[in-house]
């Protein structure tokens, strides 16, 4: 879908799809979807900071409408006021021409057949020659011309709708891609948890101190009985020696 650059009152520039208009009037700031009716998406702010979010919401609504509503056709719905005959839109005549290589004249209707994405094609519907032309033959030719025009319009609208919905899908995929790219960037920009990092060494030191204290206590407890055992024989020997002297 075609987009255009729109600069809002705050100076920010946006790529805006067709069928979305910017509204900046006094205290009204937002984007208006114009497809199958109108719907306003306000920025929610007066400084333009909410314009990006409101444009995204308006674009999603436009995509939804394109996918679910009939496509507003560019085909002319009715004959122009300057048309001299009362024939339907896209049909003109009767036109009188000369056959090639002959002086015989004949009448026909000209039908403009629209083609989506291409120039319209002209088709002549024969009515009759000077000798065979009748009002009945004119009506028959007009019926064929109306049928040709209706068939061409139907094909045009189908292709127009298909094209619009393909554009809407591409726009939807682009929005999804932009979101998925924004998430990793946001994660990469997120600062590391400083507090947790600062607490980690302190916790390790505290644990190491507790372990050292426990080890020292166990070592002292093991060593105490040995010292007591070492002192006991010395005391007994001293008593025995005193008794012998006596």
pLDDT tens-digit series, residues 108-161: 999 999 999 999 999 999 999 989 999 999 999 999 999 999 999 999 999 999
Structure-token pair, residue 245: 């002297």
> Which portions of the chain are predicted below pLDDT 50?
196-198, 226-232, 234-235, 237-239, 241-243, 245-246
Say what the pLDDT of residue 195 is. 53
The reply to whether 190 falls in a domain is no
pTM score above 0.85: no
Say what the pLDDT of residue 210 is. 63
* Contact by Cβ (8 Å): 89, 79: yes
- Percent of the chain exceeding pLDDT 90 equals 50
The reply to whether 84 falls in a domain is no
Q: What is the tally of structural domains in the chain?
A: 3
Measured in whole angstroms, the distance separating CA 57 from the mean position of its chain's CA atoms is: 9
Say what the pLDDT of residue 186 is. 56
Specify whether 65 is located in the same domain as 96. Answer: no
Say what the pLDDT of residue 127 is. 96
The reply to whether 178 falls in a domain is no
| Domain extent for 216 | 195-246
Residue 94: cis peptide before it, omega within 30 degrees of 0: yes
Say what the pLDDT of residue 216 is. 54
Helix, strand or coil for residue 174?
helix
The reply to whether 157 falls in a domain is yes
The reply to whether 47 falls in a domain is yes
Measured in whole angstroms, the distance separating CA 125 from the mean position of its chain's CA atoms is: 47
Say what the pLDDT of residue 78 is. 85
């Amino acid at each position: 879908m075609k987009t255009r650059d729109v600069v809002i009152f705050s100076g920010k520039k946006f790529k805006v799809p067709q069928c979305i208009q910017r509204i900046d009037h006094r205290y009204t700031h937002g984007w208006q979807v114009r497809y199958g009716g109108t719907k306003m998406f306000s920025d929610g702010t007066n400084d333009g900071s909410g314009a990006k979010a409101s444009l995204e919401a308006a674009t999603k609504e436009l995509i939804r409408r394109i996918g679910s509503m009939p496509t507003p056709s560019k085909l002319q719905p009715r004959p122009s006021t300057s048309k001299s005959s009362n024939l339907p839109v896209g049909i003109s005549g009767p036109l009188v021409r000369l056959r090639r290589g002959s002086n015989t004249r004949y009448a026909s209707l000209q039908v403009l057949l629209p083609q989506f994405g291409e120039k319209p094609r002209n088709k002549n519907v024969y009515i009759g020659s000077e000798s065979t032309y009748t009002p009945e033959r004119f009506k028959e030719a007009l019926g064929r011309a109306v049928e040709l025009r209706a068939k061409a319009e139907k094909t045009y609208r189908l292709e127009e709708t298909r094209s619009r919905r393909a554009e809407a899908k591409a726009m939807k995929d682009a929005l999804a891609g932009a979101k998925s790219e924004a998430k990793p960037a946001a994660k990469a920009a997120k600062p590391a948890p400083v507090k947790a990092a600062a607490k980690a060494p302190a916790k390790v030191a505290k644990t190491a101190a507790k372990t050292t204290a426990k080890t020292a206590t166990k070592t002292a407890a093991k060593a105490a009985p040995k010292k007591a055992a070492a002192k006991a024989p010395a005391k007994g020997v001293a008593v025995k020696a005193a008794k012998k002297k006596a």
